[in-house]
Amino acid sequence: MRWWCSANGAAWSWEWRPFIGAWVIIVGAVGWLAWAGTWRRDVAPRRKIAAVIGLVLLLGAIDWPLSALGAGYIVSAQMIRQVMIVTIAVPLLLFGAPESLGRWLEATPRRRAVVRALTYPLVSLGIAVVLLIGVSVPVVVDPLITSQLGSFALDMAWISAGFLIWMPVQPPSPMAPRLSGPVAVMYLIAVSIAPLPVAFFMTWSEFPIYSVYELAPRVFNSLDAKSDQELAAAIFQVAGGLAIWIQIAVRFIAMSGGLSGPRFRGTLVPDASPAEVS
């Protein structure tokens, strides 16, 4: 049993090998949510469901087998992990976060100032895009992914980028989003477009760009390194874009009045008052 996933050059095995670090993070998160009151009866069921699904997806992305496949064998698995964390798990966790987190972030003038600076849309999106592109560059990925600490740093960069991206439009309750309505939609469209140069480079590169994946033992004989890289680019563009455009579509429907009922208010569209979404 290892602490975190990394590339080690060994032949792939489907034998279950959980990673201690992944389980420590998830168990710690569950314990903190319980301490913060997320599972109380007065908390809206949709928030509990969002928190549970977010944690399950996060565990699936950072534990075996997907993390092991992505860290040392298949770059398309690595891209699935990134999409799961950045575009699905993080916004669900923000929506399901306990209100005590939102109140803590705004409890002092210094915290409010830091949060406002980091959630300024151009700042948050700019830092997130730099992070996502930076941890996709071969000269960064190849040396980092061969060590557990380096692979952990890559995963933490994804998680950090995810929180930076979603905080301006979906902060933890009772914080008010910096952006709402049409402006939030335009922001999310920019989110869906900004990291695309990475996918284009992966698609049109004549050779595999990551030596770790090019030289890794094959998990599936029918999936060579070049085809794997092209599949990874497609996953990034299609699956990642779809997850963001679902949020955009829900917001469009909400603006048109289609989600104005209490059943939907606050679900993926945190434009309602704290009383309505609590």
Spell out the residues 6+ positions from residue 70 whose beta carbon is closer than 8 angstroms to its own. Answer: 5, 77, 78, 79, 80, 81
- The b-or-e profile of 79-107 (16+ CB within 10 A means b, else e) is bbbbbbbbbbbbbbbbbbbbbebbeebbe
Residue type at position 130: V
pLDDT at 38 over 80: yes
SS3 label, residue 2? strand
Please compute the mean of the pLDDT values over residues 11-24 and round it to a whole number.
Answer: 94
pLDDT at 149 over 50: yes
SS3 label, residue 81? helix
Are the beta carbons of 192 and 241 closer than 8 angstroms?
yes
Structure confidence at residue 205 as a pLDDT band (50, 70, 90):
confident
Residue type at position 273: S
Domain range summary for the chain, segments of one domain joined by +: 20-277
Are the beta carbons of 98 and 38 closer than 8 angstroms?
yes
Please compute the mean of the pLDDT values over residues 43-70 and round it to a whole number.
Answer: 95
pLDDT at 156 over 50: yes
Res 256: pLDDT: 78
Query: Greatest CA span in the chain, whole angstroms?
Result: 57
Res 123: pLDDT: 94
- Cα-to-chain-centroid distance, residue 66: 15
- The angle at the Cα of 93, spanning 87 to 96, to the nearest 5 degrees, equals 135
Q: What is the mean pLDDT of the chain?
A: 89
SS3 label, residue 196? helix
pLDDT at 270 over 60: no
DSSP bridge partners of 19: 2
The predicted-structure confidence for 223-262, as pLDDT tens digits, reads as follows 999 999 999 999 988 888 899 999 899 888 888 775 554 4
